Amino acid sequence: MTDMRVFERVRPLLEKYHGGQRPVVLMTCGIAGSGKTTLAKAVISNLPQFTRLSNDEIVNEKHGLYGVDYPAEDDLYQQYLGEADTVFHQRLRALLEEGRNVVLDRSLYAKEDRDELKQIIGEYGGHWVLIFLKAADKEKLWARIQDRSAQPKEANSALDISRDTFEMYWDGFEDPHGEGEIVIGV
């Protein structure tokens, strides 16, 4: 499915709730390379009342690019991701407190993470829309990741994903089932 077609499938779901008293939060869910950032950027380009939150962007704001501005060391990267996650949650709460609509640009690979974010959204009276970008073709997804790695580095694609890491992501991803998700095949 093309990038714009994914957005056009999601748009009516967001517009359905926009304009109400409750903030709307789009929760992107999918393995690396499934199109989460592309969807999130399409949403904020076409629906400017949404604000995008991304751990990758937060790490970049504070530390720069992985392997460019700081050493490509997994322990250091995990430390920075931990810091970013704290900021992510603080910003989400602040945006919800203001009644703002939000796009969460993160993998949400574990049910526990999805449940935690849904709880936070609910605490602020928000309405969540969980979009699962389901990749059916493992090798096609791997090719997308390799293509992205060949492009100039930026905040959302700075991490080099090895085949072993990709396999770990693929095997460890907890697909949402019965969580109110909307599945879009990619």
| pLDDT tens figures, 108-162 | 999 999 999 999 999 999 999 999 999 988 999 999 888 877 776 665 665 678 8
Mean pLDDT score, 35-64:
94
CA dist., res. 45 & res. 42, Å (int): 5
% residues pLDDT > 90 (the chain): 65
Under a CB-based contact definition with an 8 Å cutoff, are residues 62 and 84 in contact? yes
Distance CA 103, CA 109 (A): 16
Average pLDDT, the chain: 90
Cα separation, 100 vs 120, whole angstroms: 14
Q: Specify the pTM.
A: 0.89
Q: Domain limits of the chain?
A: 3-185
- pLDDT value, residue 3: 67
Domain spanning 3-185: CATH 3.40.50.800: no
